[in-house]
Chains A and B, each alone.
Chain A
């Protein structure tokens, strides 16, 4: 069965410190991984996806199939990064319209 695990419900770091939000997945096929973010009083939106291999707002994420992980990283946190972050998985068998989400990590950046 497909599953996404985000081990940290809450993560608090100081401004300027590095950030790493962990995500592990379980899926036997070829996965598509995404990070979605929800800022306060805004709707859920895509932050980045592994297939794009891009950096968005300074965030990067590398898919490690050996460790079945897709951790989100940023070298220097900013206060505007405070938000709820969700890791999500879609499978090649069913497409990106069905996302399996992790429970989310609430990131707080302290000044």
Chain B
């Protein structure tokens, strides 16, 4: 099976712009989670989608949003970008979203905000 894919891999934006990142889960997986990774804060959970519904949400401002499509692909959007949004954004998929399911991570999208 192909692994989790994320596009684009690298992105450079300026403050105030918005950005959309895409994640394609492993075939058959219905749960997609997003994480932000920074040197200072480490890996932080953003949100999780299952069957097109947001089930869990982390402590991020409303500028961070996401959605999931019927084929389980997911997008996350960040509006009004700030310098502090520069980070590696990881998505992970799991099969049924159970409490002990393994999450499979993508390679990440490196976002740089200038």
Residues of A bordering B, CB below 8 Å: 32, 43-46, 49, 51, 86, 90, 92, 94-104
Contact = CB atoms under 8 A, between A and B. Distances in A.
A94 B50 CA distance: 13
A44 B93 CA distance: 12
Interface in B69-114: 90, 92, 94, 97-108
B56 A98 contact: yes
A79 B81 CA distance: 41
Interface of B: 3-4, 31, 33, 35, 42-45, 48, 50, 55-56, 58, 90, 92, 94, 97-108
Main SS at interface, chain A: strand
A90 B107 CA distance: 22
22 contacts: A43-B3, A44-B90, A44-B92, A45-B105, A46-B102, A51-B100, A90-B99, A95-B97, A95-B98, A96-B98, A96-B101, A96-B103, A97-B31, A97-B48, A97-B50, A97-B97, A97-B101, A98-B33, A98-B58, A99-B35, A100-B45, A104-B43
Given A43-B108, A97-B55, A49 B100 contact: yes
